[in-house]
Amino acid sequence: PDRYAVIGNPIAQSRSPVLHTAFARQFGHDLQYEKLLATHENFAETVRRFIAEGGKGMNVTAPFKLAALEFADTLSERARAARAINTLKFGPEGVHGDNTDGVGLVSDIRDRLGIALRDRRILVIGAGGAARGILQPLLETGPAHLLLVNRTERKAHELLEACGAAGVTAAGPLDAAADGAFDVVINATSASFDDGRLPLGRGTFAPGALAYDLVYGRGETAFLRDARRLGAARVSDGLGMLVGQAAESYRLWFGCWPDVEPVMALVR
């Protein structure tokens, strides 16, 4: 079998083996997908050993997305923009690093949820690693406007300056989101991990708006509950993004695009 793995710490909770095994079944690929636990000290050594044993590729999860950036010989444009890697491909030409998180989100919103992003008003809340990973793919969909807000406003400005899409984008403090009538509102903060509330208002959501939390597996978060109460027509957690990023990794490794819908049902 072809050997693949996901590396992280902790790693026991990872659903990547289930996802990739399900994709492989769709195509009849012979795939062995493992979980690798590493530390910051032995990350590089663990990846090198996996390559030496014949490993073909790897997903990278917290806290190694930055370490993987340094490990890779070549980087995709989107990995460079995200300054993080979630997918490695090992080949004769070396280690290639990519980041499929952002396209995973975009394909989930567009293809699975059926919501267009072109010419829409998008709000992204948060300016940490998760936000950085999705900004460029979101901008590539051609929104009419993208507002990035963050508790620490300075970080929102810095992040937008780094990805440079003047004209369409603006940055501001959290409460700048209260009145913008956005079509798509994305929570990229880590607030959902401790059920933190965000200052949303009725004016945040345009008619028919989607509220999307990047977090998954925590039921309906405070953000999604508030969004629904304040008029969001549709809400979604980040499980579809998880499946979407895995599908894009699979495409990078095998060149074929898995059907995500039955796999969503499997992990739901």
Catalytic residues: 65
- Closest approach, Cβ 83 to ligand ATR, in A, equals 11
Alpha-carbon gap, residue 52 to 8, rounded angstroms = 19
∠ CA 74-54-94 to the nearest 5 degrees?
15
Got the DSSP string for 142-178? Answer: --SEEEEEESSHHHHHHHHHHH--TTTEEEEEGGGGT
Give 128 or 172: the residue with its C-beta nearer to ligand ATR.
128
- Closest approach, Cβ 28 to ligand ATR, in A, equals 36
Is the CB of residue 29 less than 8 Å from the CB of residue 2?
yes
- Closest approach, Cβ 193 to ligand ATR, in A, equals 8
37, 170, 219, 255 from 250: Cα distances, Å = 21, 34, 27, 7
- Closest approach, Cβ 154 to ligand ATR, in A, equals 9
Alpha-carbon gap, residue 63 to 23, rounded angstroms = 25
Give 22 or 147: the residue with its C-beta nearer to ligand ATR.
147
- Closest approach, Cβ 36 to ligand ATR, in A, equals 21
43, 209, 228 from 212: Cα distances, Å = 32, 10, 11
Of the candidates 134, 123, 118, 111, which has an alpha carbon nearest to the alpha carbon of residue 209? Answer: 123
∠ CA 158-239-196 to the nearest 5 degrees?
55
When CB distances to ligand ATR are compared, the closest residue is 128
Give 49 or 197: the residue with its C-beta nearer to ligand ATR.
197
Point out which residues bind ligand ATR (CB under 6 A).
126-131, 150-152, 155, 189-191, 196, 198
Instruction: Find where tokens 């507002």 sit.
Output: 147
Q: Which helix (H) or strand (E) holds 248?
A: helix 239-254
Give 99 or 189: the residue with its C-beta nearer to ligand ATR.
189
| Complete edge-to-edge strand list for the sheet that includes strand 94-98 | 31-37, 2-8, 57-60, 87-91, 94-98, 74-75
Give 126 or 258: the residue with its C-beta nearer to ligand ATR.
126
